[in-house]
Amino acid sequence: MKVLADKAVLLVGGLLLLVGLGPPGPMAVSCLLIAITGSAAASAWEGRARGVLAPLPALTIVALTPLGLPGAPLAVYDVVRRLRLGDLLVHGRSAAPALPDRDARTVAAVGAALAATTALRWDGRPLAWAGVLAGAASVLALRSAEEQEQRARLLAAHDDLRARLRSLRASRAELVEAQEHQARAATLAERTRIAHDMHDTVGHQLTSLLFQVRALQTIHVGDATMAGALDGLGSGLEESLSAMRASVHALSDDGVDLAVALHALAGSSPVPRVSVDCDVDEPPPAAVSRCVLAVVREALTNAARHGRAASARVVVADFPGFWRVSVSNDGAAPARLDGDAGSDGDGMGLRSMDERVRALGGTLRVEPRPVFTVTVTITKSGRNEP
């Protein structure tokens, strides 16, 4: 809008200059229309490389006849803007202009002086105003170009701030998620510790008491009263031991949170960058979770050891009839895919991974291209219940 206002002012000045040159004839009007058309084309093509050609017809007419002087300010305006803005117009970059401020102002001043000198060669005082209008056009063009540059810098800074804000929000979300996983992992670790303590202390004591009761039953086999009391005590100890074992198993199973365990596994993986996407509606059975963790651990180990992978992605999806786990990495595919990729003493290997998955009614598939991917599918059946 600012450019249109500037050109409107210059057009009014050009019309006054046209009247000052004498009665406007068809030739003079045609020259002014050519200048107006060139200026409109320069505005329309401002973001294109060919926009620099738009003022040339008007400048050529000025060099040939004084009848072209009324349209010269419009051409000068477009040329100075082009010189000042440079790559900002063509490429949309908010970089330095094609010419520094001092050089651009010098070009504008020289152009205005040449226009004034050309005008003064012709008879008549009104022609001198062509140079004045050219100088005014240079000043207006520089001012509008500087305002456009400032706008471009502000927009670039705004876009950069928005990008940084999005990055900060994403980092904050990742940090919050990591904290939640750490808190959940600490809770699960405490449950597992309690289960182990119950198994090692209470379970051991109950088992020891049960053995002592059985020994007393053998000693007092002929005493009916004592035998009855010992039978009741032994039955109570067996029930307590069974209940304790059930509680230990429940705590152990609750201590397996697949999403938390996968994120912890990714954090300690030998692969530098591991992303985890665990989307399950309900927690899988403990047997399935343990199998998935074992497969993912071995797949990441193989990716680092044999493929020299720099990044990997773990995706767990929950479908109505099955779970699907895929582990992909950007490393090189192993030379052999015979199931022994990790069977060198430190891992269970592809073959053992396949056996473990098949024990739960699932399948394992290895795809070396386009990226090396291990895909596990486990059906939701009674075979994978703990």
- d(CA 11, CA 37) in angstroms, rounded, equals 12
**Tokens 């992909």 correspond to what residue?**
328
Question: Does residue 113 share a domain with residue 40?
Answer: yes
CA dist 152 to 95, 96, 155, 172, Å? Answer: 9, 11, 5, 30
Q: Alpha-carbon dihedral of residues 108, 110, 115, 116, nearest 10 degrees?
A: 110
- Residue positions counted in the chain: 386
273 touches 311 (CB < 8 A): yes
Structure tokens given for 189: 């670790």
Residues 12 and 153 in one domain: yes
pLDDT for position 199: 66
Domain membership of residue 176 (yes or no) is no
What does pTM read for this prediction? Answer: 0.44
**CA 261 → CA 153, 248, 289, distances in Å?**
47, 19, 9
Tokens 């477009």, located at residue = 78
Range of the domain at 120: 2-162
Identify which of 14, 6, 34 has the alpha carbon closest to the alpha carbon of residue 132.
14
Identity at 94, one-letter amino acid code: S
Distance of alpha carbon 198 from the chain centroid: 47
Q: Where are the beta strands (DSSP E) in the chain?
A: 273-279, 311-318, 322-329, 362-367, 372-379
Tokens 């990729």 map to which residue?
341
The confidence score (pLDDT) of residue 347 equals 43
67 and 139 co-located in one domain: yes
pLDDT at 219: 79
Same domain, 16 and 103: yes
* 273 and 374 co-located in one domain: yes
CA gap 239, 219 in Å, rounded: 23
Q: Tell me what pLDDT residue 43 has.
A: 72
Q: How far is 129 from 135, CA to CA, in rounded Å?
A: 10
Q: What span, in angstroms and rounded, lies between the C-alpha atoms of 4 and 136?
A: 15
| Residue 226: CB atoms within 10 Å | 14
One digit per residue, the tens of pLDDT, for the chain of length 386 reads 777 887 788 778 777 777 776 677 787 777 777 777 777 777 777 666 555 566 666 666 665 566 777 777 877 777 777 777 765 554 454 444 444 444 445 545 555 555 555 555 555 555 667 777 777 887 887 888 788 888 888 988 899 999 999 988 888 887 887 677 677 767 767 766 776 777 677 777 778 887 887 788 787 777 777 777 878 887 887 777 777 777 766 665 555 677 888 888 888 888 888 888 888 878 788 888 888 888 888 888 888 888 788 889 999 888 888 889 999 888 777 655 544 444 444 345 777 788 888 888 888 988 887 888 889 999 887 555 54
Task: Answer whether 101's CB lies under 8 Å from 145's CB.
Answer: no
DSSP 212-250: HHHHHHHHTTT-HHHHHHHHHHHHHHHHHHHHHHHHHHH
Residue 340 confidence (pLDDT)? 41
The CATH number of residue 321's host domain is: 3.30.565.10
Based on the fold, state whether residues 60 and 126 are members of the same structural domain.
yes
Question: What pLDDT score does 243 carry?
Answer: 78
Q: What is the pLDDT of residue 93?
A: 46
| Residue 204 shares a structural domain with residue 334 | no
Burial class (CB in 10 A: 0-12, 13-18, 19+), 157: exposed
Predicted pLDDT at 161: 92
Tally the domains of the chain: 3
Residue 174 domain-assigned? Answer: no
Same domain (yes/no): 268, 198 = no
Last residue of a domain, one of 197, 229, 254: 254
- d(C-alpha 229, C-alpha 232), whole Å: 5
Q: In terms of C-beta density within 10 A (0-12 exposed, 13-18 middle, 19 or more buried), how is residue 137 classed?
A: buried
Could you give the angle at the alpha carbon of 140 between the alpha carbons of 137 and 141, nearest 5°? 80
